[in-house]
């Protein structure tokens, strides 16, 4: 085989690796919303209360959010291919258990297990992508696809969840993951490269892992409890204060740990830190679109679940288009310092536009335009941010750096869930009190008033995010230099590994 043919074969293999990773990422991302659509049917079937219903969602988010850093680091320690396959099999098994659940307890346990294996799978998938695509041009294309999936997965979940629940059973919202996982495992076995470790195996930072996981658990639990029991509840503030103390202890420990779980230079790097913050803002703001616009379409305008899912398709199309144009044309030309703030401003404008929605709004005239603008915005923000967040990271920390991407998005979603739901509930209560007597028409208008408050808050968050991104991201030339340096370092690593392996075999 000639050198040119070998290079072409390696390039083709990389794209099959991308397809495998993209399938696994889609499975994890859409699971965050697909189960929400199935909840009412699951509740009717298993007979659990409205108060217990939230735990089907919370069990997943607690396990997923608190174990992400550990999952990312485990992929660095045990090997990405092995961690990827373990994550896929575990996630599929937990999904099958949930689909077959005959009680509320079994369903919640299965969702928690999904979160555990999802915390291993999600950062590993991104780490595989990071270490596989090092050529700057190929890297841009690959991250365009990955970023599009990260941004559109929630909307795909709404569509798929509506279809499966309406035409099959709520259980298929969980069973479907088994089929995704089987395809991804086959792809991983064939296409995801195995990397032999040369030299001493690094050790797990046990104290750092305990502090980080406990801190993330406390943070997610605190905001989840605020949504369930209000901000006056002891466990809300108790867990949030505990999370702050644990994170301070974690940072202090990372400064002295011999084998730190998350070396601080990873997050203190200016571009990487700006990327994590941008992903946090995007994860927070997108919640307002998916949750409150879904409520509006179904409860205010009377859309069915599957029609609601179909309503988000134009947004997905715009997101995919913007992601491909951005990563292949605009990011290389202008860099994230220009592109991410523009995306943030577009998202802010789209949400401000949505504040004009009312009970007489129509889909084509009033909902579709801002929804498409939101898709363009997310396709501009997410791929550029994810690509920059993992650029130039030492490959031995690619997993934990990738985990920070997922952690930023997960924590952003958890915080916005609690804050926006509280704001909406307070606004609705205030509107009803000021417009007595409470007729059905007044109640419907009160709900729309609450959604409007949520859209304004999310719009403001994106506007602040635009200012932050413009100030923190470095110039395009610096990004390009880092990309070329990272590619050169990756090639040198491959040559060193090959030489070490040859020497070991000859010895």
What pLDDT does 210 receive?
A: 92
Same domain for 139 and 248, yes or no, is no
Residues 246 and 381 in one domain: no
Q: Flag whether 199 is in a domain.
A: no
Within a domain: residue 298?
Answer: yes
The pLDDT tens digits of the residues spanning 60-118 come to 888 888 898 888 888 888 888 999 999 999 999 999 999 999 999 999 999 999 999 99
State whether residue 256 is helix, strand or coil: coil
State what percent of residues in the chain have pLDDT above 70: 89
SS3 state at 358: coil
CB 460 within 8 A of CB 281: no
Quick one: CA torsion of 276, 277, 281, 287, rounded to 10 degrees? 30
Instruction: Write the CATH number for 56.
Output: 1.20.1250.20
Residues 253 and 280 in one domain: no
Do 245 and 267 sit in the same domain of this protein? no
pLDDT digits (tens, 9 = 90+) for 254-285: 999 888 888 888 888 888 999 999 999 998 88
Residue range of the domain that includes 407: 6-194+261-501
Q: What is the largest CA-CA distance in the chain?
A: 88
Q: Which of 147-151, 165-169, 209-213, 433-437 has the highest mean pLDDT?
A: 209-213
Pair 329, 190 in one domain: yes
The dihedral over CA atoms of 280, 285, 286, 289, expressed in degrees to the nearest 10, equals 170
The Cα 271–Cα 275 span in angstroms is 6
Identify whether residues 41 and 139 lie together within a single domain: yes
pLDDT of residue 485: 46
425 close to 417: Cβ distance less than 8 angstroms: no
365 and 425 co-located in one domain: yes
Residues 182 and 223 in one domain: no
Model-level pTM? 0.82
Domain count for the chain, please give it. Answer: 2
Domain end position, chosen among 228, 243, 260: 260
Both 172 and 211 in a single domain?
A: no
Q: Is 460 found in the same domain as 428?
A: yes
Tell me how far apart the alpha carbons of residues 114 and 99 are, in angstroms, rounded to a whole number: 12
CA gap 10, 6 in Å, rounded: 6
């Amino acid at each position: 085989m000639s050198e040119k043919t070998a290079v072409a074969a390696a390039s083709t293999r990389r794209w099959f690796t991308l397809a495998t990773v993209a399938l696994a990422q889609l499975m994890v991302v859409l699971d965050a919303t697909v189960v929400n659509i199935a909840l009412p049917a699951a509740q009717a079937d298993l007979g659990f209360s409205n108060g217990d219903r939230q735990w089907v969602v919370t069990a997943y988010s607690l396990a997923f959010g608190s174990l992400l850093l550990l999952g990312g680091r485990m992929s660095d320690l045990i090997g990405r291919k092995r961690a990827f396959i373990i994550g896929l099999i575990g996630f599929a098994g937990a999904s099958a258990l949930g689909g077959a659940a005959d009680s509320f307890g079994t369903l919640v346990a299965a969702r928690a297990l999904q979160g555990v294996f999802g915390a291993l799978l999600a950062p590993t998938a991104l780490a595989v992508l990071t270490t596989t695509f090092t050529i700057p041009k190929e890297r841009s294309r690959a991250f365009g696809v990955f970023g599009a999936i990260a941004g559109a997965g929630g909307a795909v979940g709404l569509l798929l969840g509506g279809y499966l629940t309406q035409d099959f059973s709520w259980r298929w919202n969980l069973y479907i993951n088994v089929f995704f996982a089987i395809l991804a495992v086959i792809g991983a076995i064939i296409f995801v490269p195995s990397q032999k470790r040369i030299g001493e195996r690094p050790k797990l930072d046990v104290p750092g892992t305990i502090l980080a996981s406990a801190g993330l658990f406390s943070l997610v639990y605190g905001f989840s409890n605020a949504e369930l029991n209000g901000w006056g509840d002891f466990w809300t503030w108790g867990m949030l204060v505990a999370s702050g103390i644990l994170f301070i202890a974690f940072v202090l420990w990372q400064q002295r740990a011999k084998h730190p779980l998350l070396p601080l230079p990873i997050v203190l790097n200016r571009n990487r830190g700006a990327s994590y913050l941008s992903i946090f803002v995007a994860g927070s703001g997108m919640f307002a679109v998916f949750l409150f616009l879904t409520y509006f379409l179904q409860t205010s305008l009377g859309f069915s679940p599957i029609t609601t899912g179909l309503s988000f398709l134009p947004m997905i199309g715009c997101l995919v288009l913007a992601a491909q144009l951005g990563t292949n044309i605009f990011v290389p030309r202008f860099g994230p310092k220009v592109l991410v703030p523009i995306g943030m401003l577009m998202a802010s404008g789209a949400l401000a536009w949505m504040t004009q929605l009312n009970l007489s709004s129509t889909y084509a005239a009033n909902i579709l335009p801002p929804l498409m603008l939101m898709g363009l915005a997310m396709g501009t923000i997410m791929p550029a941010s994810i690509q920059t967040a993992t650029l130039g990271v030492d490959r031995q920390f690619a997993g934990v750096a990738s985990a920070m991407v997922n952690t930023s998005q997960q924590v952003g979603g958890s915080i916005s869930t609690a804050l926006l739901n509280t704001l909406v509930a307070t606004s609705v209560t205030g509107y009803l009190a000021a417009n007595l007597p409470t007729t059905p028409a007044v109640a419907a208008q009160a709900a729309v008033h609450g959604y409007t408050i949520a859209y304004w808050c999310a719009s403001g968050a994106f506007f602040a995010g635009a200012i932050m991104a413009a100030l923190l991201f470095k110039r395009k030339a610096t990004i390009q230099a880092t990309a070329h340096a990272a590619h050169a370092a990756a090639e040198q690593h491959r040559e060193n590994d090959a030489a070490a392996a040859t020497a070991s075999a000859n010895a």
